[in-house]
Structure 1
């Protein structure tokens, strides 16, 4: 009896060790420990923050928008004071990118607003251009701007041509001098590749933000609806997926990287918490 009891203790100990190991591995996602962020609580004006970006990867200034007002905000890390430029009327604005000294703001219906970054220091910027009809009818929340190629990568949250339980489409637009934007090509995310890692994707995959890691060149795609962070390679093949802790990631809407490869995720606020930006330092693995 004592011998059998001893064997049971060994098995329990091994199972406990395995659970601790699994928990530790779950916290470590790629090169980032998603359990240990640095947190910047945003001012009330950005309670509903929906997108963030850096200019040329410089982290000294965070550029942000929120999904009710046509304003481009700028802040320094952990400094609650903000400045903004009003580029449009009230509306559902979802993401922001900066390419070649121009700001590009994505509206949920696919309309894009652009103006020179030199105007972003003024409350009423001049030279704002509204670009319509570049994207098919649908709902869009995620956009990434490639400084090197001048391309905008825009991913669907809910588009008519997609079945989000199987595939999600994306569109690549080429920016040019001044406000010129032209259609380029498309891409897609195979949701079955996410399911193969996570087991399921409830309600279909509905991205809310997209960015490219400057160190690994992989795509990081975030979904507030699914509470997921997905990583894909340059050919859009899914390599990893991670369920996000809802206590920490209240409503993850925006994602960006700085030049050093540090990861930033912005969250809209709720009844208990203000909007925030979480910073995850690259671990160097």
Structure 2
């Protein structure tokens, strides 16, 4: 084999390996014989505009604020009428991955770590401020929620933690200083025995957070993995408590978590051959 041919073969092998370990499409290596420890109690099929829903939060018991990961728009979706009631444009097209509401303000997370603060988001006189963080595109920020009790936001990274190869950090954005704190508020240990049924050649793929939120009743921290569907629950102190493996046919790509004040859990899924949806879930 000539040096040129050998170089081509090596290049192809390298490209295949890169695709295998880094491409952002769903595939499953988890065991398939697990028992479903949850019940889907209600389902909303979403309109085409929300086909790539990537974050959501409750405005009130009937209305959901949501984003999809290509447009700088906050959508207000009514769960009762099953219609989009309002569209709030806050920025240019981009890869938006998280949404959190804090009083009259909305916060939207872009995958490169930029946080958009949309003040008075439900009015015609919104004010948008961008906040830079130390999270970059290579880390792939995907999860965002409001931690009302501690006056902060929580942000998760999907691909690589800025500080460690053994954990995926959940970082706190202080709403008073408007800064992302360097030390993670919580950390997901990728070698935790709770992941014993999760088999990966690449340790960083054991848990790839797509969203984070806090149960308002228990204080527990919920994290979804959209690439290989699962739901991780941490105690209020950050200790691993329970891992739910989710069936691909019911959770194609779980990207959003929201809670009602009574603790009812809602998970959103990006669309594929079926429409995107929001599911009301009861965990067993």
Task: Give the TM-score taking structure 1 as reference length.
Answer: 0.79
CA distance in 2, matches of 1:149, 1:163: 25
**104-113 or 181-190, which deviates more:** 181-190
Deviations 1:168-196 (A, max 9, x none): 112101113xxx51233413111222545
Tell me the residue number matched to 1:153: 154
Q: Distance in 2 between matches of 1:251 and 1:156?
A: 17
Among 113, 118, 124, the alignment partner of 2:116 is 113
In the alignment, what sits opposite 2:36? 27
Q: 1:78 to 1:139 in 2, by over 3 A?
A: same
Shift of 1:35: 3.3
| Contact map agreement 1:194 1:230 (CA 8 A) in 2 | no
Give the CA deviation at 1:42.
Answer: 0.9
Query: 2:30 maps to which residue?
Result: none
2:277 is aligned to 276
Measure the CA separation in 2 of the matches of 1:194 and 1:209: 22
Distance (Å, rounded) in 2 between the aligned partners of 1:149 and 1:172: 10
* Bigger CA radius of gyration: 1
Distance verdict in 2 for CA 1:216–1:251, change over 3 Å: same
The separation in 2 between residues aligned to 1:199 and 1:262, in whole angstroms, is: 27
1:43 alignment partner, one of 28, 44, 47: 47
Cα distance in 2 for partners of 1:80, 1:196 equals 37
Q: Which residue of 2 aligns with 1:54?
A: 58
* C-alpha distance in 2 between matches for 1:49 and 1:196: 27
Of 216, 226, 229 in structure 1, the residue corresponding to residue 228 of structure 2 is 226
1:94 pairs, out of 84, 92, 97, with 97
| CA root-mean-square deviation | 2.2
Alignment correspondent of 1:192: 191
Distance 2:282 2:243 in 1: 19
User: Which deviates more, 217-226 or 88-97?
Assistant: 217-226
Q: Conserved in 2, the CA contact under 8 Å of 1:141 and 1:157?
A: yes
Number of residues of Structure 1 aligned to a counterpart in Structure 2: 245
Does the 8 Å CA contact 2:151/2:174 hold for their aligned counterparts?
A: yes
Residue matched to 2:129: 129
**TM-score (norm: length of structure 2):** 0.79
Q: Which residue of 1 aligns with 2:170?
A: 170
